[in-house]
Every structure is written in structure tokens, then in C-alpha cells.
Amino acid sequence: MYQIIWNQPIELDLVTGDVRTVKGPSDALACLADHWPRRGPSYVAARSACRAAIDGRRTVEEARSLFISAAREAELKAH
């Protein structure tokens, strides 16, 4: 199966102390589902954008940007 990836992966520092590399919308959806400490409006927007990017309704870079916004909202360091 073909996986859509971002131009630049995101290293995300999780609350557990682990660092996770998020390479694209599919990785982001898994991370949002399994490792997210706080689910606010940016979380919902990122989840929706990642699904839309996978379906071709939004760009992968839009999804990346919204994922970073959700990380900030959850007070997670994304680099």
C-alpha cells in the first residue's frame, strides 16, 4: 500500500519521554489516536485534515501544519 508522506518528518516529544517520528498523515492519525494527552479544537482539525489528505481532499502539507498546531495545543514539542 502506498503511504503519503510529508516533505519533512516531524519529531514529536511525547509525555512519556519517548520521541516519535511522524512521517505523514497516516502516522499522524495513529499518534493522535494513541498518544495524545489533550484533545481540543486543533486536535479535531488535525485529525480531520489528515483524513482529508489521505483521501486527496486536502494537501499533505496542510495536514502537517494542522498537526503541528495540535501538538502546540497539547503542549507537545514538535521539531
pLDDT beyond 70 at 2:
no
Interatomic CA distance for residues 22 and 50, integer angstroms:
12
- Give me the amino acid identity at 48: S
Three-class SS state of 30 = helix
- Residue 3 has a pLDDT of 81
**Cβ atoms of residues 75 and 15 within 8 Å:** no
pLDDT beyond 70 at 77:
yes
Average pLDDT, integer, range 39-53:
97
Q: What is the dihedral of CA 53, 63, 18, 76, to 10 degrees?
A: -150
Average pLDDT, integer, range 3-20:
93
Output the pTM of the full model: 0.94
Percent of the chain with pLDDT over 70: 97
Interatomic CA distance for residues 27 and 40, integer angstroms:
19
